[in-house]
Structure 1
Amino acid sequence: MPDVSVRPMTPAEFDQWRYDLARRFADSKVAAGTWTAEGALEKALRGNDALLPAGLATEGMLLLKGLRPDDGTPIGRLWIGLQHPQGAPGCAFLYDIEVEPGFRGAGYGRALLAAAERAARERGLAELELNVFGDNPVAIALYASAGYAVVTQQMRKTL
């Protein structure tokens, strides 16, 4: 697994990430059939803004940039909530983990996941939970191989 370091996002990085994250989430919700395309981006932006009312300064949220420590090349991002959205005690929530396209398949996802776990542990949390879309087998395999277990599962059948 390659080494990664993390640092807080800058305001410019946050602004770009905020939009890109909402676009990806909206597209995933549309592809999953849970949202219509019309208004999906705006809905995603509103949802993220509700979770990050003070942007980068939102208390209890870690917004981190992943870097290669040897040369500082950006390789990805993390968004970690230090309080679980459903109130699970001692459990952080990984809202977003993303590896830059040019670094995928080289172990950086696993390294970023380990960095997220470290960040949660360093803040006294004992667990980390995340959500993954069912049509993302690469991510599902990564999380399973890193020791994550399914705690809830939604299923759908087209009739």
Structure 2
Amino acid sequence: MNEVKVRTMTETEFDSWQLTIAEEFAAEQVTAGRWAADGSVRRALESNSELLPQGLSTPRMLILRGFSADGEPVGRAWIGLDHPRGAPDMAFLYDIEVAEQRRGRGLGRALLEAVEDAVMDAGVHSLELNVFGHNRPAVALYDSAGYAVSTQQM
């Protein structure tokens, strides 16, 4: 079994991450047909800055980097300890990703488990997330980790 440890991102990591995550989120929204491509990255940056008004220091947000047992970077995660729709005692996983060159080795499951542990350590007892249906590897990961579909859009 792979083991992944998480820690809070550094300011330098956070600065780089902000643009990366905005570009990825914008691409997902465009692919899903929710947003037009023109202006999508700007829209994602604005959306994220509303959720993270104090950047890395925004209270009740965990912005994490994952590392393997050998200290190599594995991936990242962004969790809100307060659910965006107000569900009590439920965190929300905004983003989780294993570095592309590290995929296919069981590190996604290990990173997810480390995130779940960080949420529990913060005193929150459940975690919700959204995943696009076309992201088959992510759907399979969450299914194998015991997550259940609560809503589905088509």
TM score, norm. by length of structure 1: 0.95
Runs of 4+ in 1 over 6 A off after TM superposition: none
How far residue 123 of structure 1 moved from its aligned partner, in angstroms, is 1.7
Paired position in structure 1 for 2:11: 11
Structure 2, gaps ≥5 residues long: none
How far residue 153 of structure 1 moved from its aligned partner, in angstroms, is 1.1
1:126 aligns with 2:114: no
Residues paired across the two proteins, number = 154
Paired position in structure 2 for 1:86: 85
Identity of aligned residues (%): 57
Once the two structures are superposed, residues 80-131 of structure 1 have per-residue CA deviations (whole angstroms, 9 ceiling, x without a partner) of 1100000110101111101001100101110110011101111221110001
Separation in 2, partners of 1:88, 1:9: 26
TM score, norm. by length of structure 2: 0.98
Structure 1, gaps ≥5 residues long: none
Paired position in structure 2 for 1:69: 69
State the one-letter code of the partner of 2:123.
G
1:140 aligns with 2:139: yes
Paired position in structure 2 for 1:95: 94
1:32 aligns with 2:32: yes
Separation in 1, partners of 2:5, 2:117: 11
Separation in 1, partners of 2:17, 2:132: 19
